[in-house]
Amino acid sequence: MSADEWTTCPACLKAGKNKRKKWNEKLKKAYGKVSPEKYIELKNRAESDCDSRNESLAEYYEIGVNEDGYFYVDFSGHCDSCGYSFTYKHNENTLRKKS
């Protein structure tokens, strides 16, 4: 089954922000203490290591009303990069008696 949509994984994005913070500290300490070439090399490594905006979260979903009058939402997502996953299901009878 193919995904209904691919999007950025929130767990990968959070991990990328944490990596960027650590790299920024490392770059700040290295600035002026290493050669310009070494600093550029470190900065390039930081950029590639912190790239977390890939669309690795596969989303699968259905929404509608079935023949029995039940409204349903069925959502699941799984990240191919980090293993993050989330599932949400909801059913509600739309034919209940009015009080």
Q: What are phi and psi of 51, to 5 degrees?
A: -70, 100
**pTM score:** 0.68
Q: pLDDT digits over 47-63, tens only?
A: 877 776 678 999 999 99
Residues 38-49, mean pLDDT to the nearest whole number: 85
Q: What is the pLDDT of residues 59-99, one digit of tens each?
A: 999 999 999 999 999 999 999 999 999 999 999 999 976 65
Q: Residue 69 and residue 40: Cα distance in Å, rounded?
A: 62
Contacts of 51 (CB under 8 A, 6+ apart): 16
SS (H, E, C) 12-53: HHHHHHHHHHHHHHHHHHHCCCCCHHHHHHHHHHHHHHCCCC
